[in-house]
Structure 1
Amino acid sequence: MRTTLDFSPLLRSSIGFDRFVNVLEAANRVEQFENWPPYDIAKTGQDDYRITMAVAGFSQDELTITQEQNVLLVAGEKTDDGKVHYLHRGIAGRTFQRRFQLADYVRVEAASLVNGLLAIDLKREVPEELKPRRIEIGPDIAALRIEAKSEATKSIAA
């Protein structure tokens, strides 16, 4: 039995979180049968991540990696030349699409395919203007303004 959640109350009481609600709704719609190919997600540094997917039997030409805004799409399509007649086929060669929802400012740095494992390196790069910055505490601004006004008044009177 599957229950669906209604996120519309969140939209009534919050501003600017509509993208977050869309992510929650998308996660709620994900099919539970989507378990192939298997993958790992690892945090390899402060702002570095790696997705490793087991794609045995796929070549680089049969895999595509696409990043569009905050969605990473990894797809595989096996090309079958029809020359081989299998008596038993245990290595899955079916077409797949795996979507990963990425946070803001996460981009793909590199991808490699070694020994049937597809590794995708990701990095989160927050722009300088959005990073926290320290604000120096200076003298009393109101007192400086009053002092500047009194000096301006003195210069006009003179």
Structure 2
Amino acid sequence: MAMSAFDFSPLFRSGVGFDRLASVLEHLSTTSPADSYPPYDILKTDENAYRIVVALAGWSADELALTAHPNLLIVQGRKAAEEKAQYLHHGLSARSFERRFELADFVFVDRASLENGLLTIDLKRELPEAMKPRRIEILSGGANPRLEEHQAGEKQAA
């Protein structure tokens, strides 16, 4: 296992449920900065919307693959075998690649398109209803209908 420049163990000692965050930070801190192909931008287009734009001049849609896993998006490119040509200058990269993007919880790929050498991937964050804030009714008086319903259920079960 590679040595990290940062120690994320305090997250494990004092917090519960941060193991995914710690593993993402660990992965990002050990990723080689020299791996810059293909170049890309990440934009926040709305409060719950993001866009990844990957520069892929000379690539066609059938040479690319997008795979969405929970919390991970993988963009892969594999060039088809080309006829042997005699290049005087070969500046366009045709090497295979795999680019990984860690996604936050509840972020999914909405759509993807390839136009003018740019692969555009639109992402959305959608919280499930159970995760959205909700208003809690405050009852006045001594009666608690939920508690009374629960106690009645226990008496019927006995």
- In the superposition, the TM-score normalised over structure 1's length comes to 0.84
Offset at 1:56? Answer: 0.3
Residues 23-42 of structure 1 correspond to what in structure 2 (within 5 A)? Answer: 23-42=24-43
Aligned counterparts of 2:109 and 2:134: Cα–Cα separation in 1: 26
1:15 is paired with a residue of what secondary structure? coil
Which position in structure 2 is the counterpart of 1:44?
A: 45
Which position in structure 2 is the counterpart of 1:15?
A: 16
Aligned counterparts of 1:66 and 1:46: Cα–Cα separation in 2: 24
Aligned counterparts of 1:93 and 1:57: Cα–Cα separation in 2: 8
Residues 9-59 of structure 1: CA deviation (Å, up to 9, x unaligned): 321222111111111101111111111111111112221111111000111
Structure 1 residues not aligned, in runs of 5+: 150-158
Residues 68-94 of structure 1: CA deviation (Å, up to 9, x unaligned): 111111111112322422121011111
The total of aligned residue pairs comes to 143
Offset at 1:109? Answer: 1.0
Aligned counterparts of 2:143 and 2:112: Cα–Cα separation in 1: 57
Aligned counterparts of 1:138 and 1:46: Cα–Cα separation in 2: 34
Offset at 1:132? Answer: 0.6
Residues 1-158 of structure 1 correspond to what in structure 2 (within 5 A)? Answer: 4-140=5-141, 143-144=142-143
Residues 113-150 of structure 1: CA deviation (Å, up to 9, x unaligned): 0000000011111000110111122213xx236xxx9x
Identity of aligned residues (%): 52
Query: Which letter does structure 1 place at the counterpart of 2:143?
Result: L
Aligned counterparts of 1:30 and 1:130: Cα–Cα separation in 2: 32
Query: Which letter does structure 2 place at the counterpart of 1:144?
Result: A
What's the Cα RMSD here?
1.8
Aligned counterparts of 1:50 and 1:10: Cα–Cα separation in 2: 30
After TM superposition, which residue ranges in structure 1, 4 or more long, deviate above 4 angstroms?
A: none
Structure ID, larger Rg: 1
1:132 is paired with a residue of what secondary structure? coil
- In the superposition, the TM-score normalised over structure 2's length comes to 0.84
Residues 104 and 3 (structure 1), Cα distance of their counterparts in 2 relative to 1, 3 Å cut: closer
Aligned counterparts of 1:94 and 1:36: Cα–Cα separation in 2: 9
1:44 is paired with a residue of what secondary structure? strand
Aligned counterparts of 1:92 and 1:108: Cα–Cα separation in 2: 26
The worse-fitting range, judged by mean Cα deviation, of 122-131 and 35-44 is 35-44
